[in-house]
Amino acid sequence: MQFGRPIGSFRAVKHRLADLLVELELARSAMLHAVDGPVSGAADAPERAAVAAAYCTEAFSHAAGEMIQLHGGIAITWEHDAHPVFKRAHALGALWGQPHTHRARLAL
């Protein structure tokens, strides 16, 4: 609550959340397309996986960063439930590879 209104009712917050929803739905579509590659026997399955890895890691990292900002910075503290999600987003980026690495693989 701020100024007697729920924070989610402010236009600036709504716009940021709408942008995140679009980004996460695009990542979900890329993931589903990548999963369908090996199932359907597509020849471009490795390229699909690289696109999904690049897009999904970037979207997850961006969503986690926005979550910290939208919670007013309190989420960066160890005690907040959002902190492990933020840490996981960056750890998975390191585990799966950075988006620029996957994009470079696609450019070859």
Q: What per-residue confidence (pLDDT) applies to 45?
A: 95
Q: What per-residue confidence (pLDDT) applies to 3?
A: 85
Residue 8's closest CA among 80, 86, 70?
A: 70
Backbone dihedral region for residue 3 (phi beyond 0: left; psi -120 to 50: alpha; all else: beta): left
Q: What per-residue confidence (pLDDT) applies to 49?
A: 94
Residues of the chain with pLDDT under 50: none
Residue 66, classified by CB atoms within 10 Å of its CB into exposed (0-12), middle (13-18) or buried (19+), is: middle
Q: What per-residue confidence (pLDDT) applies to 8?
A: 79
The HSE-up count of residue 6 (CA atoms within 13 Å, CB side) is 3
Please give the domain boundaries of the chain with CATH numbers for all domains.
7-107 (1.20.140.10)
pLDDT in tens, 50-68: 999 999 999 999 999 998 8
